[in-house]
Each structure stands twice: as C-alpha cells, then as structure tokens.
Structure 1
Amino acid sequence: VEERASSWPQGALHLERFSAPPAVPVAGDVPFEVLAKRSGITVTVPADGSILKALDDAGVNTLSSCSEGICGACETLVVEGKPDHRDHVLTEEEKESGEYIMICVSRACTKRIVLDI
C-alpha cells in the first residue's frame, strides 16, 4: 500500500503499524556521544547499540514502549546535533527539521548529539 500511495500528497495515507518493518542493516555505524542535557549525563552509544539502552544503562529516566520505532513514545527533543532517523513515526518533513528523534532506533549523524532529557 505504501509503495502504491507513494505519489499521493504527504499525509494522505494514514498507517497504523503493529510491528516494525524488517530493519535494514546500515554498514558503517560508529559509536557516538549523547549528552542528556537535563540530567547532565553523557553516554557513548556503541555502533551496535541504541540511544535508549545507553541512557537506560546510565540511569537516565526515559520513556519507551515498542523499542521498534513505530509508536512515538520515546520521542525526544534534539538540542544540538543531527539525527539519523530510522523510525517509522516522523514524516519526511519532520525528519528533515531534525527537531525530534526516536531514541529507541535512531542514531546520530554527528559525533555528538545533545538531547533534552
């Protein structure tokens, strides 16, 4: 359905996902640093890890539900840095703005990202 509706105006197709599409491995993922601005904690996210897990492991209180990038519960405000969006929640326009990130699946395009958490 998504493929057939790809030429429709943005927002014309409403989707509700019950599981994430198969993840596509991304070659070249590297570790990066996350500063949780409100908590003052900095963590390193490994190449094969998630922001959510790194923050949880460091004791930073985060919200999450699906951990697959389909529900939006972990949406977090980006203060500084560029997100590498891998979620299925944000529209292309929202992803381009770089204002929010789904910390369960998305990563950083920059060596460091600062989040309002």
Structure 2
Amino acid sequence: MKKRIPDKLFYKIGETSEIAGLPPHVLRFWENEFKCLNPGKNRTGQRVYTRRDLEIILRIKELLYEEKYTIAGAQKRLAKEFGKGRKPAADSKEVLIRVKKELKNLLRELS
C-alpha cells in the first residue's frame, strides 16, 4: 500500500516520523546506513527532509520490514534504484524550481 505524502517542500523530523510510521531515532540511524538518504539542516540545525527523502525512507521501510531484506541487502538494492552517491544536483534544482513557483504565487496573492 502506497503511503500518501503531503505536498510540501520540506518536512521536519517529527512530520517525517509520523508519515513513515517510524520513530525519529530510526530515521537518524538510517541516515548513517543509507548514502542516498541525506536530509539537509535548516539554520537552527534541525533536519529537513524533502519529498524524495520521504520516498527513500518509505522504500527502505518496505525493503526491511515487508520484503525482509538485511540492511546490507537493502543498501545494495537502493544503490541500484537511487544511485550510490548523495542526492544529485537535479533533485536540488527541482526543489528550487518549486520554491520559485511558490514564491511567485505568494507574490501574486500579496499584490
């Protein structure tokens, strides 16, 4: 069953935890284990997750809890699905485009 992800640019760890149905310490542990999961941090140092991060988290959960992969097995599978490195620049560009669009909409509303 696919989990519905609310349409937002960023999600704090509490929101991410609630959406994924996982405690925050599991999310922090997975950041160390899965290179493709790399949330940013805001000015106050809080983790901020993107929609892509949430999709990766839900995929990790599916691999570990439903398909019974080991962490090593899930790492290999995710490396094939999402690539070996950190988030590509294209993902960042997509976020910037969405931010720009939202800012333009806000500007129109305020005018």
The bucket for the TM-score relative to the shorter chain is: under 0.3
The structure in which a higher percent of residues are helix is: 2
TM norm structure 2: 0.27
Instruction: Give the strand-richer structure, 1 or 2.
Output: 1
Instruction: Tell me the TM-score normalised to structure 1 length.
Output: 0.26
